[in-house]
Structure 1
Amino acid sequence: MIIRDATPDDAAAACAVLRASIIELCEADHRGNPEILGRWLANKTPEIVAGWADGQGRSLLVAVEEETILAVGGLAHPNEITVNYVSPQARFRGLSSAMVAVLEQRAAGLGAREIELLSTETAHRFYLARGYVDVGTPAGKFGAAASYPMRKTLLTR
């Protein structure tokens, strides 16, 4: 498995991973509510995802194994993780952890001393276990159960 910068040609496959992960793995957040899912998925189209891969103030990364995209991560420069989703069939293989590590390295390389994100209910424990702390009051995003503002201090050398 390698993690690399996404290209616009990766958009359709990356979009499919984002959508499947949200629909199948984030049940605790959307609770099967079609209105919440509709709002959450509205910007998960190949055209929009291709735009995220333009490198203009952001990075879009993909984890690839044998030509198949298994995870997608995004960073708004210099220090905000915007997406971190794994394909349902690749869950529990360490891809999300590897992606977060690469996103943190990218942020540090851009001069960030901290990294922040808005976690789903589904991923909240995952981020806590990786050293992130809650930094604000949880609020629903897209009408979902809760979104947790989180932050982590990056190690600098």
Structure 2
Amino acid sequence: MDPLIAITQPAADEAGIVSRIVQRSIRDGCALDHRNDASLVEAWTRHKGCDQVARWLLDEALCLRLAWLQGKPVGAGMALATGEVCLCYVQPESFRRGAGRALMAALEHFLGTAGHSHAMLYSTRTAAGFYARMGYRPMGRPVSFTGLVLTPMRKPLAVSAGAWHER
């Protein structure tokens, strides 16, 4: 991992940071998926506000992480103890700098140490190439959710001790 990237568990007072990263990434980085349709953007971001993120931080069945690049928060990711990665968002100006890859490594580590042999997720069209480069492969037919087309993807996990360290 790039020494300029740090992955942390957000503190309670960072819920607003996580919410802003996720909502802005959706609005500005996922136009291919929402096609600048305000009702689609609203439906996608509706349950990602500060209050919801604060609840996620209290839920022990979730792994929520914050990515920092050169000391600035640039990404957020979350996995469920059931084996699903359900969030991985990076600010558009920080795309292709390693923050998304570092977030996914942290989430996959969580899932592997929780006993999962595979990680699964539902990818948007915007993120499909990123996930494919991370080793995820489509499994099954795309599904529609709140106006978005999502492709189920899966990746085998190989957790080795010391493969990833949180700062």
Q: Given the two structures, how large is their TM-score scaled by the length of structure 1?
A: 0.93
Q: Write out aligned runs for 1:57-96 (5 A).
A: 57-65=61-69, 67-96=71-100
Structure 2 CA distance for partners of 1:11 and 1:114, relative to 1, 3 Å: same
Structure 2 CA distance for partners of 1:110 and 1:65, relative to 1, 3 Å: same
Give the counterpart letter for 2:105 in structure 1: A
Partner of 1:147: 150
Q: Write out aligned runs for 1:6-85 (5 A).
A: 6-65=10-69, 67-85=71-89
1:125 aligns with 2:158: no
Give the counterpart letter for 1:24 in structure 2: D
Contact 1:18-1:86 at 8 Å conserved across structures: yes
In structure 1, list runs of 5 or more residues that go unmatched. none
Question: Which whole-Å CA distance do the structure 2 matches of 1:150 and 1:116 have between them?
Answer: 6
Question: Which whole-Å CA distance do the structure 2 matches of 1:67 and 1:97 have between them?
Answer: 17
Q: 1:97, CA displacement in angstroms?
A: 0.8
Partner of 1:112: 116
Q: 1:67, CA displacement in angstroms?
A: 4.7
Question: Which whole-Å CA distance do the structure 1 matches of 2:95 and 2:159 have between them?
Answer: 30
Q: 1:101, CA displacement in angstroms?
A: 1.0
Question: Which whole-Å CA distance do the structure 2 matches of 1:36 and 1:140 have between them?
Answer: 12
1:2 aligns with 2:3: no
Contact 1:7-1:50 at 8 Å conserved across structures: no
Contact 2:137-2:154 at 8 Å conserved across structures: yes
- Of stretches 111-120 and 60-69 in structure 1, the one that deviates more from structure 2 is 60-69
Q: 1:55, CA displacement in angstroms?
A: 3.8
Contact 1:6-1:60 at 8 Å conserved across structures: yes
Aligned length: 156
Q: Deviations over 1:120-141 (max 9, x none)?
A: 1100111111111111111222
Q: Given the two structures, how large is their TM-score scaled by the length of structure 2?
A: 0.88
Contact 2:25-2:92 at 8 Å conserved across structures: yes
Q: 3-state SS of the aligned residue for 2:39?
A: helix
Give the counterpart letter for 2:62 in structure 1: R
In structure 2, list runs of 5 or more residues that go unmatched. 161-167
Q: Determine what percentage of the aligned residue pairs are the same residue.
A: 29
